[in-house]
Amino acid sequence: MNTTVPAKPSAEILAEAARQHAILSEGTAAIYPEKGVHGKDGLFDKLVTSLMENRPLRIKLGMDPTAPDIHLGHTVALNAMRKFQNLGHKVLPLIGNYTALIGDPSGRNSTRPPLTEEQIMQNAETYKEQIFKIIENDPAKCRLMWNGDWLKELSFADTIKLCAQVSVAQLIAKEDFGNRLANQTPISLHEFLYPLMQGYDSIAMQEREGCDIEFGGTDQTFNCLMGRQLMQARGMEPQIVMTFPLLEGLDGVMKMSKSKANYIGVTENPTDMFGKTMSIPDSLLDRWYSLLTTIPAAERPSHPMEAKKKLAHFITARFHGEAAADEARTAFESRFSKREMPTDMPELKLPLEALTTLTDLVVAANFATSKSEARRLIEQGGVKLNGEQHKDPTAPVKLETPFILQVGKLKLAKITA
């Protein structure tokens, strides 16, 4: 499996590798190694090799079949896999069925109970159903693998040999292990074996199907690099590692996680999926666009409410189709109007073309007695357009009419041109 990159790839190959690299590296948190042979990073080298040898790259992504519900946080890497597929590469989703069978034998980690074979198969079925909404289930472009296939064959002697490749100091240097030792929070020795198990998966996959790249969240960096190290120790061409940012959940702060109830499951109905996306804070928009959509930056609406609608529509359409997404948007808009807006609100016809800033609008609506009062109200967060807070007094007002202007709790108007 040792693929030696010939010294001189052609200009065409370098150009094509650069084109793919630009697409595939977008949205990643890091690529290891950072420096490659051909002037960029490890991904660039792998692309060059793939083009020169005229074979697809094979990308590993491990999944733990303990919780069958995939949420949007999981789809970040799946989206990236889909981009590889679109460029002709092959993805290898790996089900960690062996690990799930064992659970956490120390009993300390209650989120890791041992599962039965039946539960694992059921969860895996659910997984497949969910992931194939994002990645293509075409045998030429995808092979589902199971780590029980090789881990059940691993002897104690094999384990000893594997462990001989890794130093205790290296494991203690891993952030969470180091912190727990420092805080005297117990670490069971089997926890030291999990990163090695993940690394051995890469070895076994390299032997069976090829394993050029491993994907993981940024919290998986250590474990993914372990695979690199163990492959090298066997004289194998090591995988490269691509990590992805952890998606913040609906609260805008914490990592999206089932246990924190700040997630959107990929099987949620279109109404909830659309509505929950509309509820994210504006500060998350850039992240969600870049991690969850393929919409180019130029096509993102500048107004947060509009940007959220487009995002919510994209996400809903991906899992439920265009028609369901359209319907969810209409339902949301009608619910939004009913819930937020009094029916007896005054209607104001304003010369919008003449009002260049939000300050102008507030004054023109008679919701402030002076420009300076209007500015203060805006800066203090008291002004909303279509229910969205706006804090920049100089922002231009570019909304489709009619729209709702609200100042404080009581001053409301439907603005028409």
Query: Does residue 159 bind its own copies (CB under 8 A)?
Result: yes
Structure-token match 């659970």, residue found:
103
Residue type, 86: N
Interaction pattern, residues 72-101, with its own copies; x per rule: CB under 8 A: --------------------------x--x
Residue among 231, 208, 242, 385 nearest 306 (CA): 385
By CB under 8 A, tell whether 106 contacts its own copies. yes
| 189 part of the interface to its own copies, by CB under 8 A | yes
Q: Which is nearer to its own copies, 111 or 401 (CB)?
A: 111
> How many Cβ atoms sit within 10 Å of the Cβ of residue 13?
17
Query: Which one among 17, 151, 204, 292 touches its own copies, defined by CB under 8 A?
Result: 151
> Which tokens sit at 184?
């005297």
In Å, what is the CA distance from 344 to each residue of 263, 338, 347, 411? 36, 12, 9, 12
Under the binding rule (CB under 8 A), the answer on residue 190 touching its own copies is yes
Please state, in angstroms and rounded to a whole number, the distance separating the CA atoms of residues 401 and 403.
5
Establish whether 35 is an annotated binding residue: no
Cα(211)–Cα(274) distance, rounded to whole angstroms? 37
Decide: is 397 part of the binding site for its own copies (CB under 8 A): no
Q: Is residue 134 near its own copies by the rule CB under 8 A?
A: no
Q: Which is nearer to its own copies, 108 or 391 (CB)?
A: 108
Give 299's DSSP letter.
G
Q: Is 235 left (phi over 0), alpha (psi -120 to 50) or beta?
A: left
Q: Do 266 and 133 form a contact (C-beta atoms < 8 A)? A: yes
Cα end-to-end distance, the chain, whole Å: 68
- Residue 122 touches its own copies, criterion: CB under 8 A: no
Q: Which stretch binds its own copies (CB under 8 A): 128-136, 156-164, 217-225, 358-366?
A: 156-164
Residue 295 lies near its own copies (rule: CB under 8 A): no
Q: How far is the CB of 279 from its own copies (least distance, A)?
A: 41
Question: 93 - beta bridge partners?
Answer: 61
Closest distance to its own copies from the beta carbon of 172 (Å): 8
Stretch that binds its own copies, among 17-25, 123-131, 150-158, 328-336 (CB under 8 A): 150-158
Q: Which of 61, 81, 196, 404 binds its own copies (CB under 8 A)?
A: 196
- Angle at which helices 189-208 and 221-233 pack, to 10 degrees? 60
Size of the site for its own copies (CB under 8 A): 39
343 binds its own copies (CB under 8 A): no
Residue (of 324, 332, 331, 382) closest to 358 by Cα position: 382
**What per-residue string of b and e applies to 112-145 under the rule 16 or more CB within 10 Å gives b?**
beebeeebbeebbebbeebbeebbeeeeebbbbb
113 is an interface residue for its own copies by CB under 8 A: no
Bridge partners, residue 63, by sequence: 95
Contact region with its own copies (CB under 8 A), list: 38-46, 169-177, 259-267, 385-393: 169-177
Q: Which among 290, 264, 274, 239 has a CA at the least distance from the CA of 92?
A: 239
| In 209-245, alpha helices (H) | 221-233
Q: Which is nearer to its own copies, 186 or 351 (CB)?
A: 186
User: CB of residue 391 vs its own copies: minimum separation in angstroms?
Assistant: 50
Q: Is residue 171 part of the contact set for its own copies (CB under 8 A)?
A: yes
| Residues paired with 95 in a beta bridge | 63, 146
Q: How far apart are CA 312 and CA 306, in angstroms?
A: 10
203 near its own copies (CB under 8 A): no
Q: Is 152 in the site for its own copies (CB under 8 A)?
A: yes
ω before 33 within 30° of 0 (cis)? yes
167 vs 330, beta carbon nearer its own copies: 167
User: What is the spatial distance between Cα 189 and Cα 366, in angstroms, rounded to a whole number?
Assistant: 70
| Interface with its own copies (CB under 8 A), residue from 1, 140, 163, 345 | 163
Smallest distance from the beta carbon of 224 to its own copies, in angstroms? Answer: 18
User: Which one of 13-21, 163-171, 258-266, 276-284 is the stretch in contact with its own copies (CB under 8 A)?
Assistant: 163-171
- In the set 32, 84, 177, 332, which binds its own copies (CB under 8 A)? 177
Residue 229 binds its own copies, judged by CB under 8 A: no
Q: Name 106's Cβ contacts closer than 8 Å, sequence gap at least 6.
A: 188, 190
Site membership for its own copies, residue 415 (CB under 8 A): no
> Binding site: which residues?
258
- Residue numbers belonging to the annotated binding site for ATP: 258
Q: Which residues bind its own copies (CB under 8 A)?
A: 98, 101-102, 104-106, 151-152, 154-169, 171-172, 177, 181, 184, 186-193, 196-197
